[in-house]
Amino acid sequence: MSQFDDTFEDLNSYLYNRLKQEIWNQVYQHGTKLRQEHLAKEYGVSRTPILRVLERLTAENILEYVPRRGFFVKRLSLDEMLNIFALREVLDGAAAKACALHASDEDIEEIRQFFAKFQGKWSSDLEQEYVIVDQQFHSRLTKLSGNKLLQEINDSFSINQFSYQKGLMRPPIETLAEHQSIIHAIVERDPLKAQLLAMEHIQKSMENIRLRFDEHKFPNR
């Protein structure tokens, strides 16, 4: 795995990946303060390399830094969540458009196969797998757009972490159809259509968040 390479290559990026992963996995809850000494002990290093990582994750908007107080796992308000989706709308739109324009035929063929295994009946296992493939699909489109900035932005600002949280996803049946139609537009090399469909796709997810929030006031915090 690439995580192992990082281990030997460079302590800094190893710690970075590890902490980011643990935040992702909710080892540290939203709002938690990350004490430097604690992390240092946990990872068997001193505070110095920890601080570098904290600084970096802060710049990526995954942590929040309050001078003289410390670093906290960022807790997202409804507004911030909606902002993320408003952003994803245009980013994923741009990625889909660029794919339709620039991706190679082989890459497009690969995309076409992405959801092949989800044609039959749904099972609980399959639904779980779908969440992963969904995420891979979006990240693949971003990659194939050829715009590295798009990738970097998606990795920052908690965008990916947040978008695929448990409890926020729409039912696969809904989103599968949307994914298929985006793929279709890309296969047809119709940039505008791909863009608009990708944007609608995210808009609907955004609407979903809004609804859930209104209902349960969110089981978070």
Partner DNA sequence: CCGTTGCTTTTTGAATGCAAAAATCACTAT
Partner DNA sequence: ATAGTGATTTTTGCATTCAAAAAGCAACGG
Contacts 24+ apart (CB under 8 A), 18-26: 18/43, 19/53, 19/54, 19/57, 20/57, 20/62, 23/57, 23/62, 23/63, 23/73, 23/161, 24/161
Cα dist. 125→18, 57, 118, 129, 132 in Å?
Answer: 27, 33, 11, 6, 11
Q: Count other Cβ atoms within 10 Å, centred on residue 96.
A: 29
**Residue from the set 27, 90, 132, 192 that interacts with a second copy by CB under 8 A:** 90
Q: Does 133 bind DNA (CB under 7 A)?
A: no
Which of DNA, a second copy, none does residue 7 bind to, with CB < 5 to 8 Å depending on kind?
A: none
Of the pair 44, 120, the CB lying nearest DNA is at 44
Q: Does 91 bind a second copy (CB under 8 A)?
A: yes
Which of DNA, a second copy, none does residue 156 bind to, with CB < 5 to 8 Å depending on kind?
A: a second copy
Residues pairing with 136 in the sheet: none
Per DSSP, the three-state class of 64 is strand
Of the pair 15, 144, the CB lying nearest DNA is at 15
Per DSSP, the three-state class of 43 is helix
**Distance from chain centroid for Cα 151:** 10
**Residue from the set 29, 31, 59, 132 that interacts with a second copy by CB under 8 A:** 59
Kindly indicate which of the ranges 61-69, 122-130, 159-167, 172-180 contains the residues binding DNA, using the contact rule CB under 7 A: 61-69
Q: Which amino acid is at 2?
A: S
Backbone angles phi, psi at 71, to 5 degrees: -110, 135
d(CA 221, CA 214): 15
Kindly indicate which of the ranges 47-55, 108-116, 183-191, 208-216 contains the residues binding a second copy, using the contact rule CB under 8 A: 47-55
**Distance from chain centroid for Cα 139:** 8
Output the smallest distance, CB 19 to DNA, in A.
14
CB half-sphere exposure, 118, CA atoms < 13 A: 23
Kindly indicate which of the ranges 33-41, 55-63, 110-118, 161-169 contains the residues binding a second copy, using the contact rule CB under 8 A: 55-63
**Residue from the set 3, 26, 29, 46 that interacts with DNA by CB under 7 A:** 46
Q: Does 70 bind DNA (CB under 7 A)?
A: yes
Binding-residue total with DNA (CB under 7 A):
22
CB–CB of 105/111 below 8 Å? no
**Contact positions vs DNA (CB under 7 A):** 10-12, 33-38, 40, 45-49, 51-52, 67-71
Give the residues lining the site for a second copy (CB under 8 A): 9-10, 12-13, 48, 51-52, 55-56, 58-61, 67, 80, 83-84, 86-87, 89-91, 93-94, 98, 147-150, 152-153, 156-157
